[in-house]
Amino acid sequence: MSLADSLLELQELTRRLRRDCPWDREQTARTIVPHTVEEAYEVADAALAGQPEKLLDELGDLLFQVYFLALLLEEQGQGDLFVEGTAATAGALARAQVAILLIAEVDPDASPSVWIGPDGTQLAGSREDVTVMGVDEPVEAPAVDALARAAVATDALLRVTGDAGFADGVGALLRWRNEG
């Protein structure tokens, strides 16, 4: 299984447990943080003991905690680690925020357009927005092509999916989220 598939599976598992597990439904950031700290100590113990198999297992547990806390923030309207739609995804790619770019299998001729500059991270939904980035002569390009180009420029993983229901057929898991 690819890294992108594994992270998407972890995100879905986290959502499913939050929805279906009574214990997970009751958790808040205050109640889950002691478990997160415990997992961080277990990662450190395994690393210091030179136990790679245990370390790998503990890293998975800690990553689950990260996703769980991010889901709690999302539920409170404090942001999340996912964006969808051409404009939001282009903005995240321009800021090098994207860890995994998700593009649904769509007709390339039906792809919306974005404006790009010579640098792979110079892209935006409007000509005006890309000129603010210092691009003198923006070029209109199919969004799917420009987003994939930006993913390569920012070392994001790219995953082509079936119809996942994303706005405009594109979305992204983020490395970090905007403040505010």
Q: Where are the domains of the chain?
A: 3-75, 82-174
- 110 pLDDT band, cuts 50/70/90, is confident
**Residue 15 pLDDT > 50:** yes
pLDDT above 60: residue 180: no
User: DSSP letter string over 99-159?
Assistant: EEEEEE---GGGPPEEEE-SSTT-EESSHHHHHHTT-SS-EEEEHHHHHHHHHHHTT-EEE
Distance between CA atoms of 135 and 137, rounded to whole angstroms? 6
Greater model confidence, 119 or 5: 119
With a cut of 60, say whether residue 161 has pLDDT above it: yes
> What's the pLDDT at 44?
94
Predicted pLDDT of residue 41: 94
When the candidates are 1.20.1250.20, 1.10.287.1080, 3.20.20.190, 3.30.70.1400, the CATH number that belongs to 3-75 is: 1.10.287.1080
Residue 170: per-residue pLDDT: 80
Mean pLDDT of 164-169: 70
Matching residue, tokens 């889950």: 32
Quote the Cα angle for 117-3-11, to 5°. Answer: 95
| pTM of the full structure | 0.62
**Mean pLDDT, residues 126-155 taken together:** 88
Does residue 76 carry a pLDDT above 80? no
Q: pLDDT at residue 42 above 70? A: yes
pLDDT of residue 99: 85
Higher-scoring residue by pLDDT: 140, 165: 140
